[in-house]
Structure formats: C-alpha cells, structure tokens
Amino acid sequence: MRHGVTFPLYAEVDAICNLACPASPVHYQHDPVQTTKTSVHGAINMLGLAKRLRCTILQASTSEVYGDPEVHPQREDYWGRVNPIGSRACYDEGKRCAETLFFDYHRQHKLQIKVARIFNTYGPRMHPNDGRAVSNFIMQALNSEPITIYGDGRQTRSFCYVDDMVEALIRLLDSPGNFTGPVNLGNPTEITILELARQIIAMTGYLSELVFCPLPSTIRCSVGPT
C-alpha cells in the first residue's frame, strides 16, 4: 500500500512500526517543513490507528534527539542539548515531539508503545548521495576522488549493520508490554572517522587521498597521507 503518513490511514493490522521520515541531512533539509510534518502529523495518525486497533506501536526515533550532547556516551535518561531553530531542527525536534506524543498516548490512553532511538546504521542499497560518512567515503573511493574528512578525523562514531538493527527492532516490538523504552539501538563499538576512511580505502583497493576540511565556513583544505 502506498500512503503518506501525514494523512490518516485506515487499515487492519496486528502491530505498527513507524519508520516514516527521511534520515539523511541532505534529504530532510531539502523540505524541512514536510520533514516536521512527517514526524509530527505522521506520529499522530499512526498513534490514532494504534489506539483504534488497540495494538502495539513502535516508533523509530533517533540519536539526534540528544542534539549536540554534553554527555558521552548518551544514556536514555539524558535529555539532550538541542537547537530548536537550527537547520537540523526539523528532524531533531520533529522526532522529539513524536516521542512526546507516544508517551502521552501511553499515559493518557494506556497505549502499548515501544520507542527506539536509532544510532548510525548502514547496509546495502543506501543512496549514494545521502551525505553520510559511509556512503560518502565509499563513493569517493570508488570514483578515485579524495576522501573528505571534516575536522581532524579523531571524532568517533559507531556504525550498526542494518540486519542487526532490524533484529533489534523486532525484539523490541516483541518485548514485554510494560517495557516502553526509549532504548538506544546501535553498535556499542566506536571507531574514529579517520579509521573508517582508511578501512574503506583498504577494502575498495583505491588509492584515495585524505582531505581534511575544517567545520567552519572556510573552504581551505589540507591533503594528508592515507
């Protein structure tokens, strides 16, 4: 069934997993108003369906609800440090509002909810131009282009393979009814962005340069050895 979650949906189902929302900064910043609508209106419509059917509903939230955190690693009881008016707010605040709606439906209507905060995930068929580190580095290496690293590359990330993430979501959906989350889902092992770039270079076999660009608005870059 092809349907936009910003409109009400009438269907007969046993459970709902709401994963609707572009997750790539390139995609969700393309139409930020629609991104917010997808998170907020989408949550309202899917919660309304779950309320009518009295079924369990899972919300795919995000690690971005923590914003630019001052705590590392982030625990689920950390409230985050988010800019509500920045260019990423359409996604960050939309997901935060969706979490609010889920827990209010749980408290007010006794709805059985599950909230997953998904961290960096990768796998087959990612969009080649989605602006994420894994796909960016792979495409740059395959095209024999310099690999662009913002900052010094020592910042760390964790990357979870999509099959593991799907299994985690299914386990969460099937968890006891009194467990709502939110729960962080991702790979607990962190690597630096520099390590990721070097690993992709080694796996593709292409001799790409590493180009270090600063995060501020300057465009000067320095080329370093691989």
- Over the stretch 132-174, which tens digit does the pLDDT of each residue have? 899 999 999 999 899 999 889 998 889 999 999 999 999 999 9
pLDDT tens by residue, 49-80: 999 999 999 999 999 999 999 998 899 999 99
Of 10, 28, 66, 91, which residue is the catalytic one? 91
Distance CA 114, CA 178 (A): 10
Question: Are 55 and 140 in the same domain?
Answer: no
Q: What is the pLDDT of residue 193?
A: 95
Question: Are 206 and 133 in the same domain?
Answer: yes
What residues make up the domain containing 149? 120-159+189-226
28 is catalytic: no
Question: Are 128 and 82 in the same domain?
Answer: no
φ/ψ (deg, to 5) at 16: -130, 135
Distance CA 207, CA 201 (A): 7
Q: How many domains does the chain have?
A: 2
Residue 96's pLDDT band (cuts 50, 70, 90): very high
Beta strand residue intervals within the chain, DSSP E:
15-18, 56-62, 113-118, 121-122, 147-150, 156-157, 160-161, 183-185, 191-192, 210-213, 222-224
Question: Are 46 and 136 in the same domain?
Answer: no
Instruction: Give the residue-averaged pLDDT of 93-103.
Output: 98
